[in-house]
Structure 1
Amino acid sequence: MSVYGDLVGQDRAIAALQRAASAAAEVVAGGRGAGMTHAWLFTGPPGSGRSTAARAFAAALLCPDQGCGHCDACHQVEVGSHPDVTWVRPEGLSYSVRQTRDLVLKAAGAPTLGRWRVVLFEDADRVTEAAANALLKAIEEPPPRTVWLLCSPSPDDMIITIRSRCRVVTLSTPSTESVANMLMTRDGVPWEAALPAARAAQGHIGRARRLALDAETRRRRDEVLSIPRSLTGVAECVTAAERLVKTSTEDADAATTALNEAETSELRKVYGEGSSGKGLNRGLVRGGAGALKELETMQKSRATRIKRDSLDLALLDLVGFYRDVLAVQFGAAVELANEDRRSDVEAVARSSSPEDTLRRVAALMTCRERLAANVNPQIAVEAMTMALRTPG
């Protein structure tokens, strides 16, 4: 099985990457390697496999057999331990210019094992404007054996000067059948469970896997999709909004509490907490106060991002619900993402007009924009639930 085995429904992208890996091997052997370039931008809708494709390409560049999937190099890239691959996963809301400059310095070194030094930058669209300018300079004048692999939902999410210097690899939304087949063959999910999960995920492979394998994920989705028919009054709207925000906060707490404690404890040890010797403990801990404050800032930013992502996922589930409502209202012969809730979809479709549905979708998208602009989540979500309740 090659390194591209985890990419679902991306035959065109795989073919392009395989050609580029062959060209890269020519460069390593001393040839010209036409078709290989030093900067790549992987784009596609959420869950389509941007980072998976970038990781597979990184393995193909570092593998003597261009991505066999079973050698030491391929395995090391897979588990994240290859010395020539630098992984960048922004955990907070953005990636700062200082972090980018540190990254550029790391990328400037020669490869340890002689093939390529690869920088795999997930969520590259999270760089600040100043950080983007620092990244641009590195991409404009790269070392001869450094390859940048940037991942972003859309080419337009990157500044045009970076985008113009990258070769774009565009991934598409995989079909429901291909995602369901993946769940069956790789995770052993029965078809009768794989198909509804694939439909509900709307092409998001990670989401489909969680829906198929995790009962808590399915329960939370059911709670979100019960909202449209529960908004019978103002009190119900406020309650639904409060529940959504509370759930996202719980998600952030569950994901960060243990990690924050481990990170803080480790940093305190680095700065000498608990060390013996007169004056040693106090001096080192005081010297690390700035580092601890910086860590706390990053942890708060990470928690905010997780909370926002959790809310955004709920809003996208609701967008999918109203998309199904609109399809029913127009009698469109399309697959419903929420086939398992067809009765609810049809009930909402009967009680409203297509114009009402479009206004509700607009309210959901406005809420997403407000959350991205740091509007208070409770206020933004309450305004959204009120708009969902009131047609016209």
Structure 2
Amino acid sequence: MSIWSTLVGQRATVELLRSAASGHGMTHAWLFTGPPGSGRSNAAIAFAAALQCPDAGLGPDCPDRCHACHTVLAGSHADVTVIRTEKLSIGVDEVRELVRRASLSPMGDRWQVLVVEDADRLTEQACNALLKAIEEPNGRTVWMLCAPTVEDVLPTIRSRCRLVTLSTPTTEEVAGFLEARGIGASLATYAARASQGHIGRARALAFDEDVRTRRQEVVAIPARLTTLGRCMDAASRLAATTKEEADAITAELDAKEKSDLDAAYGVVERGRRPREYGPALAALEKGQRTRAKRRHLDVVDRGLTDLVSVYRDAIALATRAPGALVNEEIRDQVEQIAEQTSAELNLRRIGWIFAAREQMLEFNVPVALALESMMVALKAPQR
């Protein structure tokens, strides 16, 4: 299987990166942009593998028996560093450590590669620290930044990067990707439609029945918003279920980090806590709370995207737009929404959902409060 196999529907991008890895158009800084799920970080890591590979990722043994490709894709290559955050932002201390690493020569005979996922989360101080490193690059260092759009990165940084733009893959391309991995045609098509081109989401929907069940519960919400009480109940349920899902994701990692900290300070073996343990534990717990908040917001955001898809389908039916519905399996509910309301109202509803998203992500409004306000706004008008 090729190192580029996870880049679904990105033929032009693959050709560009292959050419650069072979020495045509290579530069020291790259900016990968594209909508969520398009494969920004996958493209950066595949490119990193190609840069470390003696055959530029095109050899007959890549990546199965090629040591360089295999270790990069596995996350264990000594000269490839990937920074990804579970926090709300990437701070200056993390970037300074990257800058320090970037100043070193690679351990091997090729490149020192530094991949920054979610570069749009860099703080202002972190951006300033990164800018200096990109302006004065080490001759064998390559920076790869990933962000949704070029506007999410400071102009001074993006002007020094070569831009790689990924697009949203089609339903057919995503379905083919899933079928190639053993998923039946019907389920693959459903997952591809429901994911709206988000590869990671499509994988989860195809392989995890619980994920499919949670999505079905979310897309059923609009048809039930007929009274104020039902609106409040829907908001409460969505806030609670997303919190439970987020907690389940982070609980195992939290426990492992706590266990590792205890082992590092000898708490288990010695049966007592050194003086330095308290501050370290407080810092760990603070970071875990920040990560839990970020994870909850991510799960809620995914639910809001599913809600938007229902009103998008209602608009498509009302305007007789060509193409299949995202939520074909609940067409009867979508038709009911389209008949009871206008396309203009459903367009405003989508705006209200995005407003709630902004309240939570940008203005730190509590999830439950933002969802309650949103659900009341979405309530079906009285006939």
Q: Same fold (TM over 0.5)?
A: yes
1:219 aligns with 2:219: no
SS at match of 2:326: coil
1:52 aligns with 2:42: yes
* Aligned with 1:184 (options 175, 179, 182): 179
Q: Are the aligned partners of 2:225 and 2:380 in contact in 1 as well (CA < 8 Å)?
A: no
Show CA shifts across 1:187-213 (max 9, x none).
211111111111111111111111111
Q: Are the aligned partners of 2:226 and 2:380 in contact in 1 as well (CA < 8 Å)?
A: no
2 CA distance for matches of 1:309 and 1:300? 14
Provide the identity percentage: 51
Quote the offset at 1:271 in angstroms. 2.2
Q: Quote the residue 2:359 is aligned against.
A: 370
Residue 234 to residue 54, structure 1, CA distance change in 2 (3 Å): same
Could you tell me which amino acid in structure 2 is paired with residue 81 of structure 1? S
SS at match of 1:336: coil
1 CA distance for matches of 2:367 and 2:268? 40
Q: Are the aligned partners of 1:356 and 1:391 in contact in 2 as well (CA < 8 Å)?
A: no
Q: Quote the residue 2:325 is aligned against.
A: 336
Show CA shifts across 1:278-326 (max 9, x none).
xx955xx211322222211111111001100000000000111111110
Gaps of 5+ in 1: 24-33
Structure 2 matches for 1:345-360, cutoff 5 A? Answer: 345-360=334-349
Q: Quote the residue 2:3 is aligned against.
A: 3
* Aligned with 1:80 (options 75, 94, 106): 75
Q: Quote the residue 2:225 is aligned against.
A: 231
Quote the offset at 1:107 in angstroms. 2.1
Q: TM-score, normalised by structure 1?
A: 0.93
1:161 aligns with 2:156: yes
2 CA distance for matches of 1:126 and 1:289? 29
Q: TM-score, normalised by structure 2?
A: 0.95
* Aligned with 1:205 (options 180, 191, 199): 199
Q: Quote the residue 2:241 is aligned against.
A: 247
Structure 2 matches for 1:1-392, cutoff 5 A? Answer: 1-23=1-23, 35-68=25-58, 69-70=62-63, 71-185=66-180, 187-276=181-270, 281-282=272-273, 285-372=274-361, 373-391=363-381
Quote the offset at 1:391 in angstroms. 4.5
Q: Are the aligned partners of 2:247 and 2:292 in contact in 1 as well (CA < 8 Å)?
A: yes
1 CA distance for matches of 2:313 and 2:219? 12
Could you tell me which amino acid in structure 2 is paired with residue 267 of structure 1? L
2 CA distance for matches of 1:223 and 1:121? 35
SS at match of 2:30: strand
2 CA distance for matches of 1:18 and 1:391? 54
Could you tell me which amino acid in structure 2 is paired with residue 322 of structure 1? Y
Quote the offset at 1:383 in angstroms. 0.5
Q: Are the aligned partners of 2:120 and 2:153 in contact in 1 as well (CA < 8 Å)?
A: yes
Quote the offset at 1:252 in angstroms. 1.8
